[in-house]
Amino acid sequence: MSRIQNKKSSVQLITIDSDDDTRRIDNFLMSKLKGVPKSRIYQMIRKGEVRVNKGRIKQSYRLRLEDVVRIPPVSIATTIDQGKPPAYMLEMVRSAFLFEDDDLIALNKPSGIVVHSGSGRSFGIIEILRYLRPEQTNLQLIHRIDQETSGCLLLSKTGQGLRDLHKALRSKQVEKKYIALLKGDIGKQELKVDVPLGKNIMLSGERLVQVDKDGKVAQSSFKRLRRFQDTCLVNVRIETGRTHQIRVHSRHIGHPVAGDDKYGDRDLNKILRRSGLKRMFLHAAQLELPDYGREGLSINAPLTANLQEFLDSHG
């Protein structure tokens, strides 16, 4: 049984070295204040409790060499004896490896597992992997994908690897391709969607993303691979990586993702569920890292068995 204890930290003054150079202040604080809720960390930044070189900063501030960060006293919830991840989760992650070297791990993330714990989930991909690899103390998520989405997920094993790949993502040097089943037919031509997205937090605490002219730039390209009676299989290439981007963009163009309980078409979902589709049909199929190593790196994640079986019967 796990139990939580709270302890009060003291003031910390941390001088930034090369390991944290260019890292965002919010991500840096989360790594230093494990057990502190994200909402509290952002509150500390907003109120100026966190200082860099004695000055206030925004949550998007990127640290520089020799910066001095002041972290105020804060109550930290420490989990004692969190326990062992369930055996089925351990086996799913063990069998999900696509690629590994000294800096990088690529997984074919199973659908149904979150990438990190929280919101009532005791274990995510990162916690499971840390349990399996206790000797690797620098394991970090490089990016995220939704709980119900399967496919390519990158994790770093070193601080340098994390910074290099974050830089590549920011400069759009990483090409991401997804496979999705959409309602209706988008047509033969490639369909480009350039519509900004904004986030809302509902009263229930659930995050909802919607088209918002004042939101962040979001760009997706849809290309039909195969047409069925009421749906079409598409390849989706995303230029940006906004939360729920493909799901919201596909709904915006009138072709929501099949099986999507939040942004999808309820009537279509019911029909497809009776035909065997038990999850959202969205899969991160490919990641291209042209500047990784000497020859670049291409990571391909085959469709999960449940999606492939449905597709075979659906066709």
Q: Are residues 112 and 279 in contact, defined by beta-carbon separation less than 8 angstroms?
A: yes
Two tokens, residue 126? 């990162």
Distance CA 179, CA 286 (A): 9
Name the residue type at position 91. Answer: E
Q: Residue 297 in 3-state DSSP? A: strand
Two tokens, residue 209? 């993303």
Using N-to-C axis directions, what is the helix angle for 87-94 and 125-132, rounded to 10°? Answer: 80
Distance CA 97, CA 124 (A): 15
Distance CA 114, CA 122 (A): 10
- Compute φ and ψ for 128, nearest 5 degrees: -65, -45
Residue 254 backbone zone (phi > 0: left; psi -120 to 50: alpha; other: beta) = left
Q: Are residues 233 and 311 in contact, defined by beta-carbon separation less than 8 angstroms?
A: yes
Paired residues of 155 in beta bridges:
105, 141
For the chain, what's the residue count?
Answer: 315
Q: Are residues 197 and 218 in contact, defined by beta-carbon separation less than 8 angstroms?
A: yes
Place of tokens 């035909």: 275
**Residues catalogued as catalytic:** 146
Distance CA 29, CA 278 (A): 38
